[in-house]
Chains A and B, each alone.
Chain A
Amino acid sequence: MGKLTVSEAEKLQEKGILSNKAVAEMQKSGLVGTRKRGVRRYMKTADGKWVCPQLYFQGLNNSDYSKRMVEFREKFNALLKEYTTERSTSSTK
């Protein structure tokens, strides 16, 4: 079962469809994500196709990030900015 993104939940909350309490409950039960996704960034393959690098901690499940994981993510994001670019359209279909 897919999760609602933070921005979808916020939009529903702003428009009065969901209360703050309902969003908090949905986050607690795992129905809403807990962090916002950044803008997608892309780089090109050797043959000119756009690809989007991802950082993924396999096996994380519902565990919390450690300090070293946060540090790793920050370094990854810095590298991402250095090597990639935003595209005007985000469609990869």
Chain B
Amino acid sequence: MKSLENTTVSKSDSARLPIVPGTYPAHVSEFASMEYNDSVVFNLTYIIAPEAKQLEVNKMFVDNGQLVKSKDSEGQDVMISASYMAGKPFKGGGVWLTPSPAEGEGWKNKKYQLHCESMGIVFDTNEDGETILGEIEEDDVIGRPVLIKLGQEEYTKEGQTKQAWKVFTVYPWKEGGRLSGEEIKSDVPF
């Protein structure tokens, strides 16, 4: 074989840029709900918005299963555009709604209220200033803009520790526009 001395591949030269944890602009792209006992759990998927290209993230590579920051020759972090993250879908944790909660158990729906309000859903209030919740449906949420906090979750399966990417929290993205169902489908790159 002819040696190519000037053609090297370092550890940090990944074939594909790995997913990087962080806060990204996104849209709700999938909706699923399931009844469980007297509650409903909503499972939402979010797709990272094209506006992610405005953000910079650390260039990273995977070494022994761990994400490692790439450094330049002076030891400084290498930053790159997050444009490659756009179009990637990520699932969130279940959001629970308990309709007609027992006296003193209204707190059970607080996370649901905050999650919905972060998606820009406005609930009515009664004369006492209490929020009157409603049960969200697919049409209420698909395409809504949010900021998502993306991270890795560890779990154990068949005795092995595995990692999965998950949306841990959503925040309002007031500057983001809502997409239609068709626009969301056309954004999915497969």
**Beta-carbon contact of A17 and B147 below 8 Å:** yes
Given A8-B23, A11-B55: A18 in contact with B173 (beta carbons within 8 A): yes
- Interface residue from A4, A8, A17, A21 paired with B54 (Cβ < 8 Å): A17
Interface size on A, residues (CB 8 A): 16
Which B residues are in CB contact (< 8 Å) with A2? Answer: 149, 168-169
Interface string of A1-24 (1 = CB under 8 A from B): 110100010011001111101100
Which A residues are in CB contact (< 8 Å) with B171? Answer: 4, 26, 31
Q: Which of A4, A12, A26 counts the most B-chain CB atoms under 10 A from its CB? A: A12
18 contacts between A and B (CB under 8 A): A1-B115, A4-B23, A11-B23, A12-B147, A15-B54, A16-B54, A16-B175, A17-B25, A17-B54, A17-B55, A17-B147, A17-B175, A18-B147, A18-B174, A21-B174, A25-B172, A26-B171, A31-B172
Q: Which residues of A contact B (CB under 8 A)?
A: 1-2, 4, 8, 11-12, 15-19, 21-22, 25-26, 31
Q: Which residues of B contact A (CB under 8 A)?
A: 22-23, 25, 51, 54-56, 111, 114-115, 118, 147, 149, 168-169, 171-175
